[in-house]
RNA sequence: UCCUGAGUAGCUCAAUGGCAGAGCAUUCGGCUGUUAACCGAAGGGUUGUAGGUUCGAGUCCUACCUCAGGAGCCA
């Protein structure tokens, strides 16, 4: 190989006219008699090469002609702008050096044709190489970075809770159980919330970011058994401030993705206008219908405590219920929503479909929410909680609440929910020694990625999805 | 856990109860601008498993297995 600069495909345009070396894989190859059109990929993008038989040594032409897809190689050639190329550039190949050829007896299983879900998931380790999957993982990385960045730059301290826990955090979900040495059982965490309440009362503003596990036998496009969650928890913060926080947080993430991933979103096939609508100024944003909805029962609409640059619609549970009743009466929903029940998936889809921004639904009936949620002083049958529903029917991406800060009330709640008091003694201590109002939320990364990328299934949002029926590869 | 649907070539899919097929992939041949290239040829099958009905089952019946996505539950 001659001494040439080693470049990546994403920045190859800066080397127009130069002879460069790429290190990558053979993505596809077409031929037309004495012309070869190999397409190379290197993880940053793809570029088509052109190889006229007369222009290269016979051995280079023959080697490339017989090379199987996904063989690894280095390629040397001259970068040329070409209007026929999708990316604007082509490579006039001078030489190739095969690093590791794929055998024709056992060719690369994933072709450029269609494949079924089962086959692709069985070959997830290879599927990741396809342009769409790579693009999704790049966007995921930015979403995770932007999420951390938001808290890091707003005075939050990252404090990660344990992954092995002695008992159920909320006493509801199905947990993965394992032996913990001799006589004990341990469980994989389903939320770090209780632990970061402790670190919040130590450090003020904290967040955690890590994997969580749910053993529920859910089998839908929105569920994984192992997923990543980012959870802030803030001392002295009440519900309205929590909603401001969630609003600013999501706004920051969407802003970053649009800044850095226009090209990836195009590969994924995302309608970028839908994301831009999330950032649109509030005044122009809210449609007539939305105004009507928000003005009905205006007394209940939460006013942001801090002016937020980008306001999301806020609905109380009662307002959302009224919206669903109306929709059912008009035949837009198959089943009526029973007041007092949680919203089902079709309900959430309908509510979110009425807005182009994420919707914050707050003050659910306390009876259907977790024991640690603070009752609303204005109506103790309601909890000071909020669910953020992503647009376009992507469902709940954030769930949060103000926490019970009274020792006596929390103890009562633990007993009412038949939870083992001893296991929660440390949690009660937080209310015994200098309790303050505090709030937090959790966002599931995969649902956020699915929404932002416009995917129809969360299994594509994580490198190796863990679902009810699949733990391979 | 419940409901619904699907299992046929390496992959994606056809096949009135009557000879097991196509495209892609692989191999061989052709083509100097192809964009999931195209054209010609070849090889490639225990039709998810086990029973049953029938002269005859990929097709009908029963059970089971696997997968899918919807409910419930959740992020």
Q: Show the domains of chain A with their CATH numbers.
A: 6-108 (2.40.50.140), 131-460 (3.30.930.10)
- Strand B: which bases are under 7 Å from protein Cβ? 1-2, 10-13, 23-28, 30-38, 66-75
Residue A19 DSSP label: E
The interface predicted TM-score of the complex, written ipTM, equals 0.90
Closest nucleotide to the alpha carbon of A349, via C1': B70
The integer distance in angstroms from the CA atom of A361 to the C1' atom of B73 is 19
The DSSP annotation for A30-48 comes to EEETTEEEEEEE-SS-EEE
Could you tell me the strand order of the sheet in which A184-188 lies? A164-165, A184-188, A177-180
Per-residue pLDDT of chain A (473 residues; tens, 9 = 90+): 457 999 999 999 999 999 999 999 999 999 988 999 999 999 999 999 999 999 999 999 999 999 999 999 999 999 999 988 888 899 999 999 999 999 988 899 999 888 989 899 999 999 999 999 999 999 999 999 999 999 999 999 999 999 998 875 555 568 888 888 987 888 999 889 999 999 999 999 999 999 999 988 888 899 999 999 999 999 999 999 999 999 999 999 999 999 999 999 999 999 999 999 999 886 534 444 444 444 443 334 443 334 456 789 999 999 999 999 999 888 888 888 999 999 988 899 999 989 999 999 999 999 999 999 999 999 999 999 999 999 988 889 999 999 999 999 999 999 988 888 888 999 999 999 999 999 999 999 999 999 999 998 999 999 999 998 888 88
Q: What is the pTM of this model?
A: 0.91
Closest nucleotide to the alpha carbon of A117, via C1': B68
Count the neighbouring beta carbons within 10 Å of the beta carbon of residue A93.
25
The integer distance in angstroms from the CA atom of A134 to the C1' atom of B56 is 52
Residue A296 DSSP label: T
The integer distance in angstroms from the CA atom of A119 to the C1' atom of B48 is 15
Separation of alpha carbons A201 and A433, rounded Å: 10
- Phi, psi dihedrals of residue A268, rounded to the nearest 5°: -70, -20
CB A166, CB A187: distance < 8 Å: yes
- Phi, psi dihedrals of residue A290, rounded to the nearest 5°: -65, -40
The integer distance in angstroms from the CA atom of A30 to the C1' atom of B37 is 7
The integer distance in angstroms from the CA atom of A52 to the C1' atom of B6 is 47
Closest nucleotide to the alpha carbon of A121, via C1': B67
Closest nucleotide to the alpha carbon of A447, via C1': B75
CA torsion sign, A83 to A89 to A94 to A96? negative
Pairing status of strand A157-158 against strand A205-213? parallel
């Amino acid at each position: 190989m001659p001494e040439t600069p080693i470049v990546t495909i994403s920045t190859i345009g800066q080397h127009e006219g130069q002879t460069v070396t790429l290190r990558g894989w053979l993505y596809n190859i077409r031929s037309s008699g004495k012309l070869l059109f190999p397409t190379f990929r290197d993880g940053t993008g793809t570029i088509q090469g052109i190889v006229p038989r007369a222009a290269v040594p016979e051995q280079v032409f023959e080697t490339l002609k017989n090379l199987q897809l996904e063989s690894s190689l280095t390629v040397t050639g001259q970068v040329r702008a070409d209007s026929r190329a999708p990316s604007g550039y082509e490579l006039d190949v001078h030489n190739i050096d095969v690093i590791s050829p794929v055998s024709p007896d056992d060719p690369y299983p994933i072709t450029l044709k269609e494949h079924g879900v089962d086959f692709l998931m069985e070959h997830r380790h290879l599927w990741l190489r396809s342009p769409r999957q790579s693009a999704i993982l790049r966007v995921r990385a930015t979403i995770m970075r932007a999420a951390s960045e938001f808290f890091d730059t707003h005075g939050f301290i990252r404090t990660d809770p344990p992954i092995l826990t002695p008992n159920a955090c909320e006493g509801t979900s199905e947990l993965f159980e394992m032996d913990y040495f001799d006589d004990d059982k341990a469980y994989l965490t389903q939320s770090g919330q209780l632990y970061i309440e402790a670190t919040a009362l130590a450090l003020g503003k904290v967040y955690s970011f890590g994997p969580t596990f749910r053993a529920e036998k859910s089998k839908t496009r929105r569920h994984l058994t192992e997923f990543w969650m980012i959870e802030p928890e803030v001392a002295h913060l009440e519900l309205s401030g929590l909603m401001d926080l969630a609003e600013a947080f999501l706004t920051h993430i969407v802003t970053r993705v649009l800044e850095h991933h226009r090209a990836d979103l195009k590969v994924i096939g995302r309608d970028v206008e839908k994301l831009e609508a999330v950032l649109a100024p509030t005044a122009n944003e809210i449609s007539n219908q939305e105004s009507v909805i928000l003005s009905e029962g205006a007394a209940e609409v939460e006013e942001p405590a801090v002016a937020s640059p980008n306001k999301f619609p806020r609905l109380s549970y009662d307002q959302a219920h009224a919206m669903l009743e109306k929709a059912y009466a008009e035949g837009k929903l198959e089943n009526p929503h029973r007041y007092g029940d949680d919203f089902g998936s079709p309900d959430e889809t309908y509510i979110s479909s009425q807005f182009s921004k994420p919707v914050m639904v707050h003050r659910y009936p306390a009876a259907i929410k977790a024991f640690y949620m603070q009752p609303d002083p204005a109506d103790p049958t309601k909890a000071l909680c909020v669910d953020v529903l992503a647009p376009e029917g992507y469902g709940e991406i954030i769930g949060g609440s103000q926490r019970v800060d009274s020792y006596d009330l929390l103890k009562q709640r633990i007993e009412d929910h038949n939870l083992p008091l001893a296991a929660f003694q440390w949690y009660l201590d937080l209310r015994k020694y200098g309790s303050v109002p505090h709030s937090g939320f959790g966002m599931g990364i995969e649902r956020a990625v699915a929404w932002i990328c416009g995917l129809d299934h969360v299994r594509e949002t994580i490198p190796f999805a863990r679902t009810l029926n699949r733990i391979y590869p």
